[in-house]
Structure 1
Amino acid sequence: MPKIRRRALLGAVSAVTLSSPALAFPDRTLRIISGFPPGGLNDIIARALAQPLSAELGQAVVVENRGGAGGSVGATAAARSAPDGHALWMGIVDTQAINPFAYRNLQYDPDRDFAPISMVGRFPFALIVGPSRPGIQSFPQLIDAARPDPEGVTYASWGVASTPHLAMERILAQQGVRMLHVPFTGQAPAMQAILAGQVDCFALPAGGAESLTRDGRSRAVAVLAPGEVPLFPGVPTVKSFGAPLESGLWKAIYAPARTPAPVIAQLNAAVRRAMTNAAFIEVVRQQGAVPEPSTPEFLAAFQRDERRAWGDVVRSTNALVE
């Protein structure tokens, strides 16, 4: 065989070998694993993304809820999945930036065990007061109600060292008061507890907060954002009361570590196109946010920054899970 022809053939074989993982992918149903129960924001966004992502990839995309331990159960399951691109992980700030500092025996490492694909979005929080406290109409009134008895006012979260827990602890420390923390297994159970009058207040994603205030029995008294949140026009920021705090959830899509680079590139392109889908954009808008697709490199750097920032918060609040 002439040298030039042989070299060309070897080059062609190498190109096919390098690209074959992407060409063979996907060949079956994909899963988006969510670390929280159905009904919460993670579930809503994962399901909204699944449909346009399925259209982009030409395969069914299903959502698998694996709740428990602040999202750690689902994260561990996702990290241990086959690195072939058919198992995706809907990570959030709790699972990717907070849990490594809060959980002593975490079974996964957010940096080592996941391959970043794309950011999804950042979702602001609103602080609401439920029907158990009909006389509280403002943030100062909520704080004043807590002053006489540190356990007289209760607040919900979806777990010890979760974003709502840490956000409330920072607010209360700045205001010089205490409240009784009541953790639940997810956002949806905590919302049900607010409606039932079992807990008094809850800092939660703005979309869920807005749904709780529609009948007028629950009220938004502050937003944990740098400025006004469109879902709550006229509701003040906690910063305006002296608490320099912005808090919310960011969400992002990952694959298990060691997923081939061509598959990551294909998934990134498909996820980014899926996030231009009008129905998906509307779901995100209803949650007080906009889609924020990104490169894998941006997500990796963003996660590293978030881990540093939230590590300081966990240490300052001593919010540890044994």
Structure 2
Amino acid sequence: MPKLSRRAVLGAAAATLVARPALAFPERTIRIISGYAPGGLNDIVSRAMAQALTPLLGQSVVVENRPGAGGGVGAAAAARAPADGHTLWMGIVDTQAIIPTAYRTQLYDPDRDFAPISLVAHFPFAVAVGPSRPGIRDFEALIAAARAAPGGLTFGSWGVASTSHLAMERILRARGVEMLHVPFTSQAPAMQAIMASQLDCMALPAGGAESLTRDGRTRVVAVIAQRPLDIIPGAPMVKDMGVDLTSGLWKAIYAPARTPPAVVDRLNAAVREAMRAPAFVEIVRQQGAVPEPTTPDELAALQRREREAWGEVVRATGAYIQ
């Protein structure tokens, strides 16, 4: 047998490495972590995305709910997950743009700890008044009731410094009235409290607000949107009633930082395709929105802009958390 030179051996080894196929992705079940309890908008959209992604990726995609700290517990868990693409994070404006300003103690860094995949959609808000205040039939009546009894009315949210909290604060400050804020751990229990007459009102995603009105006792008195909403016809916009506010809630898909670029590209392509699935489009439409796929760079730029904009709201309202 002829002897091989050291150079030949090294060359053969290098050729073997080059010829070896890249690690397949995905290899196993993929999980989407949601930072909120089941039943709210984040859970609904996460499950719709999981269902649409499963046939595209050839592996089961499941949702794992990790509520707490305004979504921060789930975000921290996603940030610490292996960066191999098998853990995704359904981030929202609260977790990606507000928590970095509002929380004194940071559980994670949205820029450093996540690899952007794609925006999902912007979801408009609505202001709903529950059966505890049957005499309040429109927005001006809500403002008048709050002015007549400063701090006497309550409004709920899914946490201090959440978009739900800050949107309502913006409305109240613009109209010069006060209400008592009652934070919950997520959207679903706050909605239940409205229906049980434990809360007077709340700013929440329009799809959730519309579902509350089906009992005939809860009313939507205004929407926070750039244009009228088909799912809540006739509801006025707060921007037409002295409140400079049109933005609601956006959601986006992320992976842990240091996820290989090829995996990020694969996930971006799959997520964009998933957002074209008729079932996913219909679920988003029921929430008053449309899918908005983006590149990772476009999502990163949106996150930076939103952090600056909502940071101003946090500073103005003093909605800091130790």
Length-normalised TM-score, structure 2: 0.94
Q: Hey, what does 2:224 align to over in structure 1?
A: 224
Amino acid in the other structure paired with 1:20:
A
Residue 96 of structure 1 aligns with which residue?
96
| Alpha-carbon distance in 2 for matches of 1:254, 1:12 | 34
CA drift at 1:105: 0.6
What letter is aligned with 1:208? G
Residues 171-182 of structure 1: matches in 2 within 5 Å? 171-182=171-182
> d(CA) in 1 for partners of 2:22 and 2:294?
25
Deviation digits for residues 126-161 of structure 1 (CA, Å, limit 9, x no counterpart)? 001000000000101000001122221110100000
Q: In 1, Cα distance between the equivalents of 2:121 and 2:152? A: 36
**Which stretches in structure 2 are left out of the alignment for 5+ residues?**
5-9
Does residue 1:87 correspond to 2:125, yes or no?
no
Amino acid at match of 1:75: A
What SS does structure 2 have at the residue aligned with 1:155?
strand
Q: After TM superposition, give the deviation of residue 247 of structure 1 in Å.
A: 2.6
Q: 1:271 is matched with which residue?
A: 271
| CA RMSD between the two structures | 1.8
Letter of the 2:122 counterpart: R
Distance 1:253 1:11, change over 3 A: farther
Per-residue deviation at 1:46? Answer: 0.3
Partner of 1:319: 319
Contact 2:93 2:251 in 1 (8 A): yes
SS of residue in 2 equivalent to 1:82? coil
Q: CA deviation at 1:216?
A: 1.5
Output the CA distance in 2 between the equivalents of 1:69 and 1:152. Answer: 27
Match of 1:134 in 2: 134
Secondary structure in 1 matching 2:152: coil
- Output the amino acid matched with 1:100: P
Alpha-carbon separation, structure 2, partners of 1:20 and 1:310: 42
User: Using the alignment, how far apart are the partners of 1:168 and 1:234 within structure 2?
Assistant: 20
- Give yes or no for the alignment of 1:20 onto 2:22: yes
**Match for residue 300 of structure 1?**
300
Residues 226 and 247, structure 2, Cα contact 8 Å, conserved in 1 = no
Counterpart of 1:258 in structure 2 is: 258
1:282 equivalenced with 2:282 (yes/no)? yes
Contiguous gaps of at least 5 residues in structure 1: none
Q: Post-superposition shift, 1:10?
A: 6.3
Q: Aligned residue for 2:43?
A: 43
Shift in CA distance, 127/11, structure 1 to aligned 2, threshold 3 Å: farther
Q: What SS does the corresponding residue of 2:148 show, helix, strand or coil?
A: coil
Letter paired with 2:296: P
The sequence identity of aligned pairs, in percent, is: 67
Whichever residue aligns with residue 125 of structure 1, its letter is F
State the partner residue of 2:72: 72
Matched, 1:237 2:237: yes
Q: State the distance in 1 between where 2:302 and 2:16 align.
A: 37
Structure index of larger Rg: 2
Distance in 2 (alpha carbons) for counterparts of 1:148 and 1:221: 18
Partner residue of 2:7? none
* Corresponding residue SS for 1:243: coil
Q: CA deviation at 1:13?
A: 5.0
1:167 aligns with 167
Letter paired with 1:156:
G
Residue 227 of structure 1 and its aligned partner are, at CA, apart by 1.5
